[in-house]
Structure 1
Amino acid sequence: MLASLMSSEAVRKAAAVSLIFATTSAVIGVHMPYLPVWFDWVGMSPYQIGLLGAAPVIVRIFTIPVAGFYADRWGRTALLVVLLSWAAFAGFLVLSQMRGFPLIMLTIVYLAIVWSPVFPLSETVAMGVIRRNRLDYGRMRLWGSVAFIVTNVAGGWAVDRLGQHTIVWALAALVLVSTLAAHVLLVTVGHDRGEAAAGGSSAARRLSLHDVADLAHKPAFLLFLVATGAVQSAHAVFYVFGILHWRTLGIPAEMAGGLWAVSIVMEIALFAFSGAVLKWLSPVQLITLGCIASIVRWFAMGLDPGLALLVPLQMSHALTFGASHIGAMHFIARNVPDHQLGTAQALYSAFTGGIAMGAVMLSIGPLYANFAGLAYWAMALVSAIGLLASVRLASLKYYQL
């Protein structure tokens, strides 16, 4: 009877985590590919679009670690997700009324402050649930990919049929749904993983700045950050200019949404079977595989391939993003102590989505303006840096953090 109750509780927590993954990813499904299209609609130049893409990435360098550290100190990660989600909803309503580069930039920076930490903090809650209940991260995370496909395809339809002005309103509505899901997460999961951890001793103790510095200075963790930061930031040209570039090649937004959907279907398949994959490959090997696939993908994308080649290239997203992300999550789960879990997740998100992505995004505006699709070749070089770091990490005999 007790075992049945514990199993039921684990299922409810897994469902709540799956819901927050789904709703936050639904936002990303519109935000990532179509917000640059809205920028173009309101009159932003390629240089300005590049800056609007880079600014929030740079802001994340500071906001995500601060949010992660504060969550570990405060001990209420799920509640922090709720508060930040409401602030983000207000921000998207404001963005819908903004015109002109300065006002749009100011609003985008605000959104980076309040919205950027939501997903990594949600993943912190998820990793705590996984540790306590021995659940499959991939099976929960795949619902995020499913939601991404739905809103990505719907976003392409909306742009083609209803107009580019609908993009920000759709984002505001999706963030509201995500905020409601954050309330469900708060009620179901309750306190963060530290307070609920079995035994509650070491995991529940308050994190210090010394702990953060100790983690950030470990060679294995630094190599991990470089490898994952490079392979994830290599997506920058595709994320910011991918659909805009396809439109210059005569590919309509609706078809572009379908191409994005192909990539996420393959990502879902990998997430669904990630438990089995991890029996064959270690987290570091998954990251290495993602780096290799990334070099091939972005070199080929620089050749402006036709639809026949674009489909398999989009399918490789399961490796360039999916494999490297699963590898990263399980590297953290297997090697980082409980009381540093939130901070490790925040440092990973800040480096991959902030420092590395920001450094790359600062260059892609001029790169794309001058070289168009050839800008993808620079992303292949970035991926090669990640490959070198992952190979070096794999050569270490011991990297418990």
Structure 2
Amino acid sequence: MTLALPYWRLSGFYFFYFALLGATAPFFSLYFDHLGFSAARIGELLAIPMLMRCLAPNLWGWLGDASGRRLAIVRLGAVCTLGSFALIFVGQNYAWLALVMALHAFFWHAVLPQFEVITLAHLREQSARYSQLRLWGSIGFIVAVVGLGQLFEWVGLAIFPWVIVLIMGGIVLGSCWVPNAQPELRAGLEGQGGFLAQLRRPGVLAFYACVALMQLSHGPYYTFLSIHLENLGYGRGLIGQLWALGVLAEILLFLAMAALLRRFSLRQLLLASFLLAALRWLLLGNLAEHLLVLLLAQLMHAATFGCFHASAIHFVQRSFGARQQGQGQALYATLSGVGGALGALYSGYSWTSLGPALTFALASLAALAAAIIVATRLREEGP
């Protein structure tokens, strides 16, 4: 790291941002189940934040590129996320919770795409070191998921909203600590037209289709894995540790990502991620009662999230000029939201009618379809 890089400030923000994900992804479904909602209603409530990713990132991404005030958007989004979620203390019926989920997600999804642009602007020619910053988000996820798994096993899920508010406060403080930076202009891309022109470059649209399919395939995982494992007899403490194992594998991948980028092309890394995702969902749907198989499936998170996400961030950076970086990252977040929302919805409806095995089998097919698109539509480029 160079002396000019605010490593700990950037890392601290990632820590709190993904600690929030570690507190919500495994435990939101359990909390809604604790409140007495059915599987279909849980799927609908968890689909709402994903649907907000269809709208919010593009709006905020355009605003960030047009104004250049990306850090102001990050700070505003952090404060409004906290204020919106605090409305959960007003009421907990289905309609009110749906409103809370929509409002806080609208602002939460404004934050990360803009922050990714700021991070890459700080890194500049050191962009391969992005993973060394991002791994602190994974550490934050682990701290949250393991600690809260034990906490909820001891005291129950009634304190869940208070924990979320506390972590959101950390995001607000982290955003105030981060210095601003702007991406550099690159002549090779700036001369290729605006955002839509660069979006139509060969392979870019195919990549974004694969982003949606990957998140679609994660629908049953993020929505019902905790419930699935609890039904198989695993305790909440162990469930938290299993989530943490996946993220630990992700951290190790991030540490190795710079070396992988030097050896393999982005096309090869994305293809491997999709193929391993297809296998992972089959293992979780059919053999999760066997602890060793479950451990192997969680270790695959290194590929299905870690390798995929780091490769995707680099693909977006390579594909768009400085004035389109915010919109490129926002579209990545948006299509992740589209896929995630559809994944949460279909898994919510199929979980009861088809069962876990077939629900995860559909997820596996989505990942396999993405692998075929990568293999046939993305151009091979050097490491």
| TM-score bracket relative to the smaller structure | over 0.9
Residue 168 (structure 2) aligned to one of 160, 172, 175: 175
Inter-partner Cα distance in structure 2 for 1:282 and 1:398: 6
Cα RMSD (Å): 2.0
Instruction: Tell me: CA distance 1:133–1:288, structure 2 relative to 1, closer, same or farther (3 Å).
Output: closer
Report if aligned partners of 1:285, 1:327 keep a CA contact under 8 Å in 2.
Answer: no
Report if aligned partners of 1:227, 1:388 keep a CA contact under 8 Å in 2.
Answer: no
Instruction: Tell me: CA distance 1:15–1:202, structure 2 relative to 1, closer, same or farther (3 Å).
Output: farther
The yes-or-no answer on 1:57 pairing with 2:50 is: yes
Inter-partner Cα distance in structure 1 for 2:125 and 2:74: 20
Inter-partner Cα distance in structure 1 for 2:198 and 2:151: 45
Inter-partner Cα distance in structure 2 for 1:202 and 1:184: 32
- 5+ residue gaps, structure 1: 1-5
> Deviation per CA, 1:219-252, whole angstroms, max 9, x where unpaired?
4111111122212331110101110111111111
Paired residues in the alignment total 377
After TM superposition, give the deviation of residue 340 of structure 1 in Å. 1.1
Report if aligned partners of 2:265, 2:381 keep a CA contact under 8 Å in 1.
Answer: no
After TM superposition, give the deviation of residue 389 of structure 1 in Å. 1.3
Inter-partner Cα distance in structure 2 for 1:44 and 1:217: 43
Residue 135 (structure 2) aligned to one of 132, 139, 142: 142
- Normalising to structure 2: TM-score of the pair? 0.93
After TM superposition, give the deviation of residue 50 of structure 1 in Å. 0.5
Report what 1:240 is aligned to.
223
Inter-partner Cα distance in structure 1 for 2:96 and 2:230: 27
Report if aligned partners of 2:43, 2:348 keep a CA contact under 8 Å in 1.
Answer: yes
Inter-partner Cα distance in structure 1 for 2:251 and 2:127: 20
- Normalising to structure 1: TM-score of the pair? 0.89
Report what 2:260 is aligned to.
277
Inter-partner Cα distance in structure 1 for 2:122 and 2:352: 45
Residue 24 (structure 1) aligned to one of 17, 23, 32: 17
Inter-partner Cα distance in structure 2 for 1:365 and 1:136: 38
Residue 144 (structure 2) aligned to one of 140, 143, 151: 151
Matches within 5 A, 1:225-304: 225-304=208-287
The yes-or-no answer on 1:351 pairing with 2:335 is: yes
Aligned AA (1:266)? A
Report if aligned partners of 2:267, 2:380 keep a CA contact under 8 Å in 1.
Answer: no
Inter-partner Cα distance in structure 2 for 1:301 and 1:67: 36
After TM superposition, give the deviation of residue 17 of structure 1 in Å. 1.6
Inter-partner Cα distance in structure 1 for 2:53 and 2:92: 23
Give the SS at the match of 1:116.
Answer: helix
After TM superposition, give the deviation of residue 135 of structure 1 in Å. 5.9
Inter-partner Cα distance in structure 1 for 2:380 and 2:309: 22
Matches within 5 A, 1:1-400: 7-10=2-5, 12=6, 14-131=7-124, 134=127, 136-185=129-178, 188=179, 190=180, 192-194=181-183, 197=184, 211-305=194-288, 306-352=290-336, 354-374=337-357, 375-394=359-378, 396=379
Give the SS at the match of 1:7.
Answer: coil
Aligned AA (2:243)? W
Give the fraction of aligned pairs with identical amino acids, expressed as a percent.
Answer: 24
Segment drifting more, 67-76 vs 358-367: 358-367
Give the SS at the match of 2:27.
Answer: helix
Inter-partner Cα distance in structure 2 for 1:86 and 1:60: 18
Report if aligned partners of 1:38, 1:167 keep a CA contact under 8 Å in 2.
Answer: yes
Give the SS at the match of 1:176.
Answer: helix
After TM superposition, give the deviation of residue 291 of structure 1 in Å. 0.3
After TM superposition, give the deviation of residue 78 of structure 1 in Å. 1.1
Report if aligned partners of 2:218, 2:343 keep a CA contact under 8 Å in 1.
Answer: no
Inter-partner Cα distance in structure 2 for 1:129 and 1:344: 18
Inter-partner Cα distance in structure 2 for 1:16 and 1:133: 17
Inter-partner Cα distance in structure 2 for 1:378 and 1:134: 35
Inter-partner Cα distance in structure 2 for 1:388 and 1:285: 12
Give the SS at the match of 1:117.
Answer: helix
After TM superposition, give the deviation of residue 133 of structure 1 in Å. 5.0
Instruction: Tell me: CA distance 1:397–1:144, structure 2 relative to 1, closer, same or farther (3 Å).
Output: closer
Aligned AA (1:172)? V
Report if aligned partners of 1:291, 1:320 keep a CA contact under 8 Å in 2.
Answer: yes
Aligned AA (2:280)? R
Aligned AA (2:239)? A
Inter-partner Cα distance in structure 1 for 2:67 and 2:154: 46
Inter-partner Cα distance in structure 2 for 1:336 and 1:94: 38
Instruction: Tell me: CA distance 1:356–1:232, structure 2 relative to 1, closer, same or farther (3 Å).
Output: closer
